[in-house]
A and B are shown apart, each in its own frame.
Chain A
Amino acid sequence: AQSVAQPEDQVNVAEGNPLTVKCTYSVSGNPYLFWYVQYPNRGLQFLLKYITGDNLVKGSYGFEAEFNKSQTSFHLKKPSALVSDSALYFCAVREDNNNDMRFGAGTRLTVKP
């Protein structure tokens, strides 16, 4: 069965600095990878996904993620963080032959002014 790990519970960065939120996955087939963001008292909001093709995926709000098959990683990045990026971020994985999507435990990003 597929699984996903977010090794950091919390990431703190200063506004204007680059940010990285880490995600690693485990699947037996080809992965479909997703990033979602959750603001307080809201549902999860889709940011970006990797299905196939270019390993660098660009998404909403200036976020991007790089699929690395050899390292089984899909880290979320942004060149310059904003205070408004502070939220809970979830990585998710689904195998191409399985409809079950697995979410990571989430990483709380705090961007300080």
Chain B
Amino acid sequence: DAGVIQSPRHEVTEMGQEVTLRCKPISGHNSLFWYRQTMMRGLELLIYFNNNVPIDDSGMPEDRFSAKMPNASFSTLKIQPSEPRDSAVYFCASSLGTSGYEQYFGPGTRLTVT
């Protein structure tokens, strides 16, 4: 298995632009998580899906952030409009379930908003 796939690996954009991050989870996994990692705040859970349904989006910073999972093999995280404080590494992770199942992380997308 190729593992969790994320694209792009790096994204540089100007403030105000729309940014879309993409994730393909491991086949057969039914839970998907989006995280943000910064030096100041560490690793933060933004949102997670179970069987393509958003379960908890309380970590989404504000209305500028949105996430979708149209099918079991694809998810997007969109930021519109982007701001410099959104600069971070965004990770997608998937697992066979929640509770006692470990998560498998993608390589991350490094976002820089200038």
A51 and B98 CA atoms in complex are apart in Å by: 12
A33-45 vs B, CB cutoff 8 Å, 1 = contact: the mask equals: 0101000011111
B99 contacts the other chain (CB 8 A): yes
Do the beta carbons of A99 and B91 come within 8 Å of each other?
no
Report the interface size for chain B: residues with CB under 8 A from the other chain: 21
Which residues of B in the span 9-23 have a Cβ within 8 Å of any Cβ on A?
Answer: none
The tally of residues in A whose CB lies under 8 Å from a CB in B reads: 21
Q: A32-B100, A99-B55, A99-B56 are in contact. Are A90 and B43 (CB under 8 A)?
A: yes
Instruction: Give the segment of A20-28, A72-80, A101-109 that binds chain B.
Output: A101-109
Distance of B1 from chain A, by nearest CB (Å):
14
Question: For chain B, what secondary structure do more than half of its interface residues adopt (helix, strand, loop), or is it mixed?
Answer: strand
| B-side contacts of A105, CB under 8 Å | 42
Q: Does B77 contact A (CB under 8 A)?
A: no
Is B100 in contact with A49, judged by CB distance below 8 angstroms?
Answer: yes
B42 A106 Cβ-Cβ under 8 A: yes
* Bound Cα distance A42, B104 (Å): 12
1/0 contact string of A85-102 vs chain B (CB within 8 Å)? 000001000101001110
Q: Is the CB of A99 within 8 A of B102?
A: no
Closest B residue by C-beta to A47:
B102
B30 interface hit (Cβ, 8 Å):
no
Q: Which residues of B contact A43 (CB under 8 A)?
A: 4, 91, 93, 105-108
- Chain A residues contacting B103 (CB-CB under 8 Å) are 44, 46, 101
> Could you tell me if A45 and B48 are in contact, using CB atoms closer than 8 angstroms?
no
Contact B43 A103 (CB under 8 A): yes
Instruction: Fill in one digit per residue for B80-103: 1 if any A CB lies within 8 Å of its CB, else 0.
Output: 000000000001010000111011
A90–B93 Cα gap in the complex (Å)? 15
11 A–B contacts from the bound complex (CB under 8 Å):
A36-B105, A43-B91, A44-B43, A44-B91, A44-B105, A46-B102, A49-B100, A96-B100, A99-B98, A101-B33, A101-B45
